[in-house]
Structure 1
Amino acid sequence: MTAEEYAVDVPASRPAETSVPLHPLLAERWSPRALDPNATLCDRQFTALFEAARWAPSWGNTQPARYLAGRRGEATFDRIHGTLSRGNKGWTSNASALAIGVALVINEDGEPMPYGEYGLALATENLVLQAVAEGLHAHQMAGFDRDAARAEFGIPAEYEPIVAVAVGRLGTLDGMPERLREKELRPRTRKPLSEMVFTETWGEPLF
């Protein structure tokens, strides 16, 4: 297949196939790697991502989520990019913004923070859904060097870097390695509800 054919084969929309209708913000959320290298985020869009994260629920309103973030062309973007795994470095250079999500895991009393990582996860999902609302896509990544991020940005010991996030607009598959092209076009799948939600006893499907 030629590059031109790949370029037009990237679906502009890949709504989830659901058992009942979902809100478009949920149905349209997916995690592409083919991002537009020319797309940028205006100040309002960039701020809105983290404003959405700020208003996520957290245990006891402890608000454990923190972020390091930068837009393409900024030094912070390049520094975050440098902490990513080799597999993620190739495609994330086209992202409009990069962020690292950090969780407070030790409280001011020196004790483990309850649900710190869970709070970061809730905040980051808010960020991701705000990206969808802005006509953007966000791709969350475990593939980054936590120790390198800690050293690069001076992250205190009571905080733990957990996730990296790339945000941008959908691009094309032109120039992407074959293995990534296949991932971009692979059908979206999830386990059925019958394997997720039980009733009466464990393993007895509710739906």
Structure 2
Amino acid sequence: MSTTASATPHATPQAARTPSRKIDSLFHERWSPRAFTGEEIPVETLLGLFEAARWAPSAFNAQPWRFVYARRGTPAFERFVAALVPGNQAWARGAAALVAVVSQEVLTLPGQSAPAPFPSHSFDAGAAWAQLALQAYLWGWSTHAIGGFDAKLAREALALPDHHHVEVFVAIGRQGDPAGLPDWARAREKPSDRRPLADLVREGSFAG
């Protein structure tokens, strides 16, 4: 079995999550830790995660997502960390890699002669990120999406072109010991629950 496809068991969560309907365990066992071991991630493994994301659905098959990665120990990684808010810097430094999920806001669609705003750029990029996260879990890696960052510093760190939007940064690594986390993060180092379906689903309209 290749390095890319081999899986290392995840640490046992501190609290189990129980779905209200029968689904594949992948969906409720995957969660977003902050503690990482610092183990190096092979480039080939990262490319495999991006390959999984590449097959996400998108409007017009436009594929408006872009990924920029930096592995720990590189100057780019330090730039990515510096773009995060201080609270996230404290734990994200332990990740094996940081990935910026970027969406393209303006595209030239099939049948059009000029670029135009693409309304679903964020939605489609979110679908790609979800597939990356699930593939990472299947291979024994953990992911944590980070929305707390300085947009200006992020654009500078990525040398971001016009009409591109940074959605999130994603920390990727092997799940580690929470003992090294700040107190606030250690207290949250467990799978979070979800709202009940009754809060999220309506038939026909919001009026029910």
Are the counterparts in 2 of residues 146 and 162 from structure 1 also a CA contact under 8 Å? no
Question: Match of 2:29?
Answer: 28
Aligned pairs for 1:5-84 (under 5 A) are: 12-13=12-13, 15-37=16-38, 39-84=39-84
Larger mean Cα displacement after TM superposition, 60-69 or 10-19 = 10-19
- Cα distance in 2 between the residues matched to 1:196 and 1:152: 37
What corresponds to 1:7 in structure 2?
none
How many residues in Structure 1 have an aligned counterpart in Structure 2? 193
Alpha-carbon distance between aligned partners in 2 of 1:72 and 1:173, rounded to the nearest angstrom: 19
Partner of 2:128: 123
Aligned to 1:176: 181
Aligned-pair identity (%):
34
Give how far 1:11 is off. 5.5
| DSSP-derived class of the 2:178 partner | coil
Higher relative contact order (CA 8 A, sep 6+): 2
Matched, 1:165 2:159: no
Structure 1 runs of 4+ off > 4 angstroms?
A: none
SS of 1:194's equivalent in the other structure is helix
The 3-state SS of whatever aligns with 1:174 is: helix
Match for residue 189 of structure 1? 193
| Aligned residues: CA RMSD | 1.8
Per-residue deviation, 1:71: 1.3
User: TM-score with structure 1 length normalisation?
Assistant: 0.86
Is the contact between residue 67 and residue 99 of structure 2 (CA under 8 Å) also seen in structure 1?
yes
Q: What are the ranges of 5 or more consecutive residues in structure 1 without an aligned counterpart? A: 1-9
Paired letter, 1:113? F
Deviations 1:2-37 (A, max 9, x none): xxxxxxxx9623553101232132121101101112
